[in-house]
Amino acid sequence: MVKKNDFGKEKKVTKQQKKIQDAFDNKRKVEVIPAKISDSHIQKKRVAAYCRVSTYAESQSGSFELQIQSYKEKIRLNPEWKLVDIYADRGASGTTIKKREQFNRMLNDCRLNKIDLIIVKNISRFSRNVLDFISIYRELKALTNPVGVYIEDLNINTLDTTSETLLLMLSVVAQAESEQKSEAITWSIIERFKKGLPIIPTHNFLGFTKDRFGKVVIEESEAEIVRFIYKNFLEGVRAVDIASLLNETNIPTVAGNKWKSSSIYRVLRNEKYFGLVIMQKTFTVDCFTHKKKVNHGEKPQYLLRNGLPAIVSEEDWELVQELLLNPRKGFKKKVVKNIEKPRNFVSTIKSGVFKGFIVIDTKWTKEEVAEVLSKGEHQ
């Protein structure tokens, strides 16, 4: 068969095209089998909600609790929805999903086919990182039972075919907001440094604590350990032997671990023990990985002399640095049997609601516990 196209030229119709034309031309009788399952028997949609606030600040606590209650009520009031769970992360960054425990639990439940739909207030609550957002959104969409993310303020369900371009644009905006916020925080920290206002957390810092006004002060019981380390190193005792002595006397590190040579060296190299504070010793590479890098001159540093009360003298600290550069010069003693051990140490909790409480070692005898508690009562 031959037809003419728009330009008057002859166009040949193939056999396959002829078959399709004949199929549509021939009318056939079709019977309809009505659906046997009515709407009332359709399974309810299994719905979860995700909430997140980035800090533990009291100002965000109300918002956090309100979000949880609001979602519970909203899902329960919808006759077509069934509440799976409310997944809520407090004090979690939106730039990465690694430390968001509840978020990752929710994703696992999606993979286990427990959830059909996730409700979230806005796109920045879900993720401020474009790469994370795209990979999660596409994974959920590609599951055997695809899971949609309903973004409330935009009235968008990610399972809608028209939503992808808009969602990608909005996730880029969310990421840009996050980058700007990170830059603003970094700027404020640098301005603090310029004014001589260092940020010194003491909960994990041997020898120091904070008083009720937030001022850094010496924790005398811990400072004794610092002085012990410096004194013995200056007398020629090796770091590994100092660590052994502390472990034998059941004195843990400030984090509650066993001492190693490396932890002794960290104490010996820390200039804060003679009062010098060097600010911006490290810097964050980017706000998404939160990866920190030692500052080898890439960024300016800020020095604050006498910024802390000194536990050891500057002369002793300088001498220790010389010995660290040339260890053999200082190791006069190779046998450490006659070295005086530090006295038993009783650690106290340095921050939080239990600040000032004594830490009871499970290895102590009843008599030792009674002695420690007795001393505490008379302090």
Render pLDDT for 195-241 as a digit per residue (tens, 0 to 9): 888 888 888 899 999 888 888 999 988 899 999 999 999 988 889 99
Is pTM beyond 0.85 here?
Answer: no
Q: Residue 98's pLDDT is what?
A: 73
Query: What's the longest Cα–Cα distance across the chain?
Result: 112
Q: How far apart are CA 224 and CA 220, in angstroms?
A: 6
What pLDDT is attached to residue 228? 92
The DSSP 8-state label assigned to residue 112 in this structure reads T
Dist CA 243 CA 181 (whole Å): 43
Mean pLDDT of 166-179: 75
Q: Tell me the pLDDT tens digit for each residue of 115-153.
A: 999 999 888 888 777 777 778 888 898 898 999 999 888
**Averaged confidence pLDDT in the chain:** 81
Higher pLDDT, residue 100 or 327: 100
Q: For 251-299, how does the pLDDT look when each residue is reduced to its tens digit (9 = 90+)?
A: 888 888 899 999 999 999 999 999 999 999 888 877 666 678 888 888 8
pLDDT tens-digit readout, 61-119: 567 788 888 899 999 999 999 999 999 988 776 666 777 899 999 999 999 999 999 99
Structural tokens at position 97: 């999903």
Q: Are 218 and 311 in contact (CB under 8 A)?
A: yes
329 vs 256, more confident? 256
Please say whether the beta carbons of 147 and 118 come within 8 A. Answer: yes
| Phi and psi torsions of 29, nearest 5° | -85, 125
Q: Which pLDDT belongs to residue 47?
A: 95
pLDDT value for 311: 95
